[in-house]
A and B are shown apart, each in its own frame.
Chain A
Amino acid sequence: MQGKNQADNDVTPILRIFRQQESIIKKYLRRFMSNRCDIEDICQETVMRALEAEKQKDIQEPKAFLFGVTRNLIRKKLDKDSRSLIDFIDDYIPKEYNAVSASSLEEQWDTTDEMELFREAIAQLPEQCQKVFVMKKVYGYSHKEISAQLGISISTIEKHVSNGLKRCNDYMLKRTQGDEPVSQLTQPSTLARKGVS
Chain B
Amino acid sequence: MTNRHSDGLNMEAHSDITAEACAWIAQLETGDCTRADMEAFKEWVSRSPRHAAEIKRMAKLSMSLNSLNDLAPAMSEAAKQHRQVMKERRRQPKIWGAALAMSFAAFAFFAFIFMFSKPIETQQFYTRVGESKAVTLDDGSVVTLNTDSRIEVTFSDDNRIVKLLKGEVYFDVAANKQRPFWVYTNQDRVRVVGTEFLIRYLADNFKLMVTEGIVDVAKVALNTAASGEEQRVLITQSNNDDSLSLTAGQQIVLPHQRDGAQLSADLISLVSEKQQRQELSWQDGFHDFSDMALVDVAAEVSRYIPEQVIVTDDAVKDLKFSGIFRVGEPQVFFDALKLSYGLKVERLDGKTVAISKRS
Q: Are B116 and A119 in contact (CB under 8 A)?
A: yes
Secondary structure at the A interface, as helix, strand, loop or mixed, is helix
Q: Which residues of A contact B137 (CB under 8 A)?
A: none
Mark each residue of chain A from 172 to 197: 1 if its CB lies under 8 Å from any CB of chain B, else 0.
11100110000101100011011100
Given the complex of chains A and B, what is the CA–CA distance between A103 and B1 in angstroms? 15
Of residues 33 to 83 in B, which have CB atoms within 8 Å of A's CB atoms?
38, 41-42, 45-46, 49, 52-75, 77-78
A19 neighbours in B (Cβ, 8 Å): none
Number of interface residues of A (CB under 8 A): 64
**Which stretch of A5-13, A39-47, A53-61, A90-98 is in the interface?**
A90-98
Binding site for B on A (CB under 8 A): 71, 75, 78-79, 81-83, 85-86, 88-90, 92-94, 97, 100-105, 114-115, 118-119, 122-123, 130-131, 134-135, 137-141, 143, 149-150, 154, 158-159, 161-163, 165-166, 168-170, 172-174, 177-178, 183, 185-186, 190-191, 193-195
Choose among B41, B77, B105, B113 the residue that contacts A149 (Cβ–Cβ < 8 A).
B105
Residues of A near B41 (CB, < 8 A) are 92
Number of interface residues of B (CB under 8 A): 62
B26 at the interface (CB under 8 A from A): yes
* B22–A163 touching, CB < 8 Å: yes
Asked if B117 is an interface residue, CB under 8 A from chain A, the answer is yes
Q: Which of B42, B61, B105 contacts A150 (CB 8 A)?
A: B105
Say whether B30 contacts A143, CB under 8 Å. yes
**Whole-angstrom distance from the CB of B42 to the nearest CB of chain A?**
5
Answer whether residue B114 sits at the interface, using C-beta atoms and an 8 A cutoff. yes
How far apart are B118's CB and chain A's nearest CB, in angstroms? 5
CB of A40 to closest CB in B, whole Å: 17
Q: How far is the CA of A165 from the CA of B106 in the complex (A)?
A: 21
Question: By the criterion CB–CB under 8 Å, are B68 and A135 in contact?
Answer: no
How far, in angstroms, from A81 to B71 measured CA to CA in the complex?
A: 19
Contact B23 A162 (CB under 8 A): yes
Q: Which of B2, B19, B28, B67 contacts A115 (CB 8 A)?
A: B67
Chain A neighbourhood of B74, CB < 8 A: 191, 195
What residues make up the interface of B, taking CB atoms closer than 8 Å to A? 1-5, 18-19, 22-23, 25-30, 32, 38, 41-42, 45-46, 49, 52-75, 77-78, 103, 105-106, 108-109, 112-119, 121
A contact residues around B75 at 8 Å (CB): 138, 195
Q: How far is the CB of A31 from chain B (nearest CB, A)?
A: 9
- Distance (whole angstroms) from the CB of A154 to the closest CB of chain B: 7
* CA–CA, A173 and B19, complex, Å: 14
Q: In the docked arrangement, what's the CA distance between A169 and B49, Å?
A: 19
Instruction: Give A68 to B69 CA distance when docked, in angstroms.
Output: 13
Residues of B within 8 A of A92 (CB): 38, 41-42, 45
Cα distance, A159 to B29, chains bound together (Å) = 12
Report whether A166 and B59 are in contact in the complex, using a CB–CB cutoff of 8 Å.
no
Task: Report if A118-B65 is in contact (Cβ < 8 Å); known contacts: A92-B45, A174-B1, A186-B118.
Answer: yes
**CB distance B60 to A154 under 8 Å?**
no
In the docked arrangement, what's the CA distance between A168 and B52, Å?
19
Asked whether, in the complex, the Cβ of A118 is within 8 Å of the Cβ of B108, the reply is no
B58 to A, closest residue via Cβ: A165
Q: A123-B117, A139-B108, A166-B19 given. 4 additional CB < 8 A pairs? A: A89-B59, A100-B53, A154-B30, A169-B22
When the two chains form the complex, which single residue of A102, A163, A177, A191 contacts B53, counting CB atoms closer than 8 Å?
A: A102
Known contacts A154-B30, A158-B26, A177-B2; is A135 also within 8 Å of B59 by CB? no
Say which residue of B49, B63, B103, B112 sits within 8 Å of A138 (CB atoms).
B112
In whole angstroms, how far apart are the Cα atoms of A190 and B121 in the complex?
11
Of the candidates A79, A102, A134, A168, the one whose C-beta lies within 8 Å of that of B56 is: A102
- With a 10 A CB-CB cut-off, give which of A81, A139, A163, A190 has the most chain B CB atoms: A139
Q: What CA separation (Å) do A90 and B38 show in the bound complex?
A: 13
CA distance A94 to B44 in the complex (A): 11
